[in-house]
Chain A
Amino acid sequence: MAIHEKSLIEAERLLEHDSLVVDGVDVSGHWNTMITPRTIKDYDDDFEAKIQTYTGAENVHRCWQCGSCTNSCTMYAQNVQFNPRYWIYLTRLGLTEELIKDKDIIWQCVSCNKCTNICPKDVKPEGVMKALAHWMEEEGITEKSPSTIFDEEFTEQIYHYGRIEDSKVMKNFFKKSGQPLIQSWLIEFTKRMMKRLPVAHGFRMGMNVVFTPKTKSWGKTGEVLQAYVREQKEAAHG
């Protein structure tokens, strides 16, 4: 029999063969539709502790599911799929597959912190939303956000040169985030800057773009700095 409510079933759970004959009976198409069960088979007991290592999510275990966060949420008013209470529950039980289904909206938290103010158990749901977004980014579940790409390029240059070269940061950021290198606002910006820029200064800038000198006596400072940052991250997230 045809299943009329397919829209209510997640597409990946619907199994259907375009052509199938069983015992000489043609059951092609929707006649052979099967639905895989949606039973939850286990919890990930370590997941809550992992999310708690992110700043802001330390109190996630306090949640008792009253729903004040969702009720007060700015984003929930826009989209009822945006449900902090639900994601906190999934986090607590370690139902990561369910969380990943919402990867495209969890990051939409606008940090208005109405949830933080209203939460009777001081869970700080906003911090949990940020933690989940960061976890997904670190696990490669979601693509890196433009701001993360920018930060990485910025940090890379600091490690290497002890300073940043603006134009080089912009160029690499555009490249890595898939944006065109020449953008209308940038052309306008450069035009206006050139009008008043002393020639000698413009020359120095050009030289810096080409040769990119390091900060004086930078030496191994970058390596030391990089090692320190790595240590700190490991201490926080294991």
Chain B
Amino acid sequence: MSQDTVLVVGAGPSGLTAAANVAAAGYKAVMVEKEDVLGGAPIISGYAKLVPSGEWAKDAIGRMVTRVEDDANVTIHKEARVAKLEGEAGNFTATLSNGDTVNAGAVVLATGFTHFDSINKPEWGFGTFEDVLTTTQMEQMVTAGKIACPSDGRVPERVCILLCVGSRDRQIGREWCSKICCTVSANLAMEIKELSPETDVFIYYMDIRTYGLYEDKFYWKSQEEFKTKFVKARIAEVTASGDGRLLVKGEDTLVKRPIVIPFDIVVHAIGMDPNADNPEISQVFGVGLEKHGFIERAEHYTNTCGTTRKGIYSCGAAYGPETIDDSIAQGAAAAGRAIGDLHALVQKAS
């Protein structure tokens, strides 16, 4: 019996929080991470400053990684996946891809998401033109500290960010809003302007969804203090201008006119897809997926962080597009739920 152990799959913000909370409550956590580094998307994709804290990803997430690494109650398996899971709530046995076995009473799936691959929207020029980038690539440029066109290194006069790339698009089967791209893009616009004051930043949007406290801190601030221009247009096509720039074509819905505007860099605000491994995860762990392909939530009101299988919990972006802050909160909730249920099992047995 291993009713003192929780298996946490995935070492991103929610998984790191779940493991730390399990350990803090006196239980043992075993983390399994498929990559060779801990930290999840913010570290692997090289995010710049996080919203809403404004802290550099490597510092903020770095602290979370150190916290579990320094915790004697947390065991970490890197470059490993769960290949097989047997048993039931209170007594699972997981076989890892590296041959190790883990006995655990509960499992937390903190398996996160996969960034949308812009190749799937070829009309917007990613993969065709060097100066078409994704938000993660642009964040890497911000981290490097210099804004320049990848094609020839010139400082861009104009940068535009296209929102909802891989989100809210029935054509490519993405019928969800990725929740945080509006805020991230407004933040990115400010970072670009800060590093390169001569660059004008435009954001092409259908709606602006900087919900809650992100409204004034990101949307208003980028508009009022950093002169970001918001243009209501869903872009149809990105093409080459013939003189080394890019042409952004679409309809400005507020002027009711077609537009063909030259830009130096076009940034795709890519959305969050279900983790590409979800079909495998669903099979290995015996949990259901909801219609978009994210982990299916159990009844929500009395089964916090539940999945369709008893003893297996989930949190963060595994459930659907999620912010880092909320992923952390859900990681803590999943840990609380898992050890609560284990405690109840022990009580019942004695």
Contact = CB atoms under 8 A, between A and B. Distances in A.
B183 to A, nearest CB: 15
Given A40-B255, A93-B231, A62 B261 contact: no
Given A41-B261, A65-B232, A89 B224 contact: no
A90 B229 CA distance: 12
A65 B229 contact: no
Interface of A: 37-43, 45, 48, 61-62, 64-65, 86, 89-90, 92-93, 95, 98, 121
Contacts of B254: 65, 86, 89
Given A64-B223, A64-B230, A41 B260 contact: yes
A39 B224 contact: no
A144 B223 CA distance: 34
A89 B261 contact: no
Given A61-B223, A64-B223, 9 more contacts: A40-B252, A40-B261, A62-B220, A65-B232, A65-B254, A86-B254, A92-B229, A93-B231, A95-B255
Interface residues of B toward A: which range?
20 to 34
A42 to B, nearest CB: 6
Contacts of A41: 260-261
A93 B233 CA distance: 13
A40 B232 contact: no
Determine the main DSSP class of B at the interface with A. strand
A213 B259 CA distance: 61
Contact of A62 (B223, B252, B258, B262): B223
Nearest to B258: A39
B258 A37 contact: yes
B208 to A, nearest CB: 8
B227 interface: yes
B257 A38 contact: yes
A61 B220 CA distance: 10
B341 interface: no
Contacts of B252: 40
B224 A62 contact: yes
B259 A40 contact: yes
A53 to B, nearest CB: 15
B35 interface: no
B203 to A, nearest CB: 12
Contacts of B260: 39-41
A45 B228 CA distance: 11
Nearest to B232: A65
A45 B260 CA distance: 15
Nearest to B208: A64
B325 interface: no
Nearest to A90: B255
Contact of A98 (B232, B255, B258): B255
B261 A43 contact: yes
B230 A61 contact: no
B69 interface: no
A42 B262 contact: yes
Contact of B258 (A40, A42, A43, A86): A40
Contact of A45 (B200, B219, B220): B200
